[in-house]
Amino acid sequence: MPITTVYTAEIKKISILDEHANFDEKLGDGLISNDDLVRLYGAMVACRHLDEVAFRLQRSGRMGTYPQNMGQEATSLGAAFVLRPDDWMVTCYRENCGLFWRGVPMEGILLHWMGDERGNAMPKPHWVTPIYVPLGTQMLHAAGLTLAAKYRGVDRIACTFFGDGAASEGDFHEACNFASNLEIPVVFVCQNNFWAISTPSKINSAAPTFAQRGLSYGMPCVQVDGNDIFATVYAMKQATEYTRKHGKPYFVEMVTYRLGDHTTADDAKRYRDADEVESWRRKDPIIRLNAHLKNLRIWDDEKEAALRSKVEQDIADAVARAENISPPERTDPFDSMYADVPADLILQRDTRHTHSLGQDPSQLPPEAQERAAAMDAAAHAQHSAH
């Protein structure tokens, strides 16, 4: 038998606005309006300033461990800009910029890292999931959420984010296999920032790209300059149009870099070369977009100063709202877990006890005894009816 080729593939890399502010007119013309460019720039500046404030909050003992987003603002922002308002956005923990674009309040993110569970109650109808800290679990949830939409006949896709380290997790492969075989419209966005805490990406993968991991699952794959807001928007438009039209997953590798430590509990200087970090500082997504806006003559120092002043005040207000939030109610765990709280848990909720009160209701205050008796009667009637 002759030798034949059963499969060939190529993976393209997209770059439109490089670190020297060189702009590809052919690819970028008409992609983002000037008004939206200014708004996107403002969103990145705000996210960066929140990082600086959050760092100070942690160092002063006013907040727990915090993972800075700086350097990676254009990845999630480009996706959020393209996604429909009712598409699922399933993040890990370095996608603040995209979350804020979707309307998630800044104090919600601060509350999460302050240890307040109310920070995980993402406000409706933003169609975003709580922050995921366990490595890789969010990809499975994205596939499940979109499968549910498909089952119900709802035109909704999901976009999930993960790092180069998470691409080595079993959950990643299971989610890709699940989405591909069942034809579920999920956009998998790998934010390759070259470091999984202290593990370099070259140890996580010997292949030249992480994008090609999607090839084994039959996905279209592309690599993108993740520090280029134009490139991330361009790639996400391609990806979302494909998933929506064909109902199948798509893989996008966004090459970026975290300029800070992994979290405030990390010291990246122990494992990263200073020259490497400095080279990526020159590729900062905010710096290059600022230069492009000035080249378009739609931005200047006066507008920059006004933006910075507004951002500082907005974030100061967000910090005040987070720090001055009213204490949680002791009933919240019950009321938040169930739409209709079961009778036995209502007893626990109202008495704050789980011990002998359950066997000896006479210890309850009179009004609680009446409620307990009424619940018992209702439960008995329901049982008799069956």
> What digits encode the pLDDT tens for the residues 308-334?
999 999 999 999 999 999 998 888 888
Packed helices 106-113 and 301-323: angle between N→C axes, nearest 10 degrees = 50
pLDDT at 172 over 60: yes
pLDDT tens for each residue of 215-251: 999 999 999 999 999 999 999 999 999 999 999 999 9
Beta strand residue intervals within the chain, DSSP E = 12-14, 88-90, 158-163, 186-192, 195-196, 199-200, 221-225, 250-255
pLDDT at 103 over 90: yes
pLDDT at 356 over 70: no
pLDDT in the model for residue 350 = 80
Mean pLDDT, the chain, as a whole number? 92
Count Cβ neighbours within 10 Å for each residue of 235-255 and write b for 16 or more, e otherwise.
Answer: bbebbbebbbeeebbbbbbbb
190 SS3 class: strand
pLDDT in the model for residue 110 = 97
pLDDT in the model for residue 354 = 63
Q: The tokens of 365 are what?
A: 């205050």
Q: Which region among 27-36, 180-189, 293-302, 356-365 has the lowest average model confidence (pLDDT)?
A: 356-365
pLDDT in the model for residue 361 = 59
Q: What is the mean pLDDT of residues 338-360?
A: 74
Q: The tokens of 309 are what?
A: 């002043």
Q: What is the mean pLDDT of residues 50-71?
A: 96
Are the C-beta atoms of residues 37 and 289 closer than 8 Å to each other?
yes
Instruction: Please list, in sequence order, all residues whose beta carbon lies within 8 angstroms of the beta carbon of residue 308, skipping any fewer than 6 positions away.
Output: 45, 49
Q: Which region among 48-52, 133-137, 298-302 has the lowest average model confidence (pLDDT)?
A: 133-137
Percent of the chain with pLDDT over 70: 93
pLDDT in the model for residue 328 = 87
pLDDT in the model for residue 28 = 97
Beta-carbon count within 10 A of 61 CB: 7
Q: The tokens of 229 are what?
A: 């807001």
Q: What is the mean pLDDT of residues 20-49?
A: 97
DSSP 255: E
Are the C-beta atoms of residues 42 and 307 closer than 8 Å to each other?
yes
Beta-carbon count within 10 A of 336 CB: 12
pLDDT at 357 over 60: no
Are the C-beta atoms of residues 92 and 189 closer than 8 Å to each other?
no
pLDDT in the model for residue 5 = 93
Q: What is the mean pLDDT of residues 359-386?
A: 68
pLDDT at 362 over 70: no
pLDDT in the model for residue 168 = 92
Amino acid, res. 243: T
pLDDT in the model for residue 55 = 97
Most confident of 285-294, 338-347, 349-358, 366-375: 285-294
Q: The tokens of 295 are what?
A: 């080249």
pLDDT tens for each residue of 178-219: 999 999 999 999 999 999 999 999 898 899 999 999 999 999
pLDDT in the model for residue 77 = 98
Q: What is the mean pLDDT of residues 4-14?
A: 94
pLDDT in the model for residue 379 = 64
Radius of gyration (C-alpha) of the chain in whole angstroms: 25
Q: DSSP letters of 191-219?
A: EE-SEETTEEHHHH--SS-SGGGGGGGT-
What is the C-alpha separation between 365 and 318, in angstroms, rounded? Answer: 42
pLDDT tens for each residue of 79-101: 999 999 999 999 999 999 999 99
Amino acid, res. 25: E
- Better-predicted residue by pLDDT, 183 or 362: 183
pLDDT in the model for residue 96 = 97
Q: The tokens of 286 are what?
A: 């905010």
pLDDT in the model for residue 213 = 94
Q: What is the mean pLDDT of residues 146-153?
A: 96
What is the C-alpha separation between 2 and 15, in angstroms, rounded? Answer: 40
- What confidence tier does 1 reach under pLDDT thresholds 50, 70, 90? low
* Partners of 222 in beta bridges: 12, 252
pLDDT at 302 over 80: yes
Burial class from Cβ neighbours inside 10 Å (0-12, 13-18, 19+) for residue 6 reads exposed
pLDDT in the model for residue 358 = 54
Beta-carbon count within 10 A of 380 CB: 10
Are the C-beta atoms of residues 74 and 232 closer than 8 Å to each other?
yes
Looking at the chain, the number of H-run helices and the number of E-run strands are 15, 8
pTM of the model: 0.89
pLDDT tens for each residue of 290-300: 999 999 999 99
Instruction: Please list, in sequence order, all residues whose beta carbon lies within 8 angstroms of the beta carbon of residue 190, skipping any fewer than 6 positions away.
Output: 162, 163, 164, 167, 210, 211, 213, 251, 252, 253, 254
